């Protein structure tokens, strides 16, 4: 089992920044990809970004590319999401997730992630 705990959400104005953090315990996350997803009210869970175990492979959703940066610290079993130039459409609950497969492939489907955090709310006011 893996426990994931997100932190760093909050309320910010359009154009502002937030940094989300996710602490993992129970499994060495360094062997698996880690991802961030988000879910707005009435919408399906949406892929945001993922980072491979070797840190070098990163993949972003087009909607956040150039504004968000994912990073990880394998020694601390942690992953972060720096969010800049936030827009009202970024408002959602953000979830950290740990990959299902022990390989370098980057995946964007929720089913490819096996452990999830409880989520942290991000609200961007216009």
Can you give the pLDDT of all 126 residues of the chain as single tens digits? 889 999 999 999 999 999 999 999 886 656 789 999 999 999 999 999 999 988 889 999 999 999 999 999 988 889 999 999 999 999 999 999 999 888 888 899 999 999 999 999 999 999
Buried/exposed 73-100: b ≥16 CB within 10 Å, e otherwise: ebeebbbbbebeebeeebbbbbbbbbbe
């Amino acid at each position: 089992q893996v426990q994931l705990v997100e932190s760093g959400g909050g309320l910010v104005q359009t154009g502002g920044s937030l940094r989300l953090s996710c602490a993992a315990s129970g499994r060495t996350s360094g062997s698996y990809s880690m991802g961030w997803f988000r879910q707005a009210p009435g919408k399906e869970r949406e892929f945001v970004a993922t980072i491979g175990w070797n840190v070098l492979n990163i993949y972003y959703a087009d909607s956040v590319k150039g504004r968000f940066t994912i990073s990880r610290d394998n020694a601390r079993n942690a992953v972060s999401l720096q969010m800049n130039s936030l827009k009202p459409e970024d408002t959602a609950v953000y979830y950290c997730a740990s990959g299902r497969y022990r390989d370098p492939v980057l995946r964007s489907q929720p089913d490819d992630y096996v452990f999830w955090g409880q989520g942290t709310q991000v609200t961007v006011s216009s």
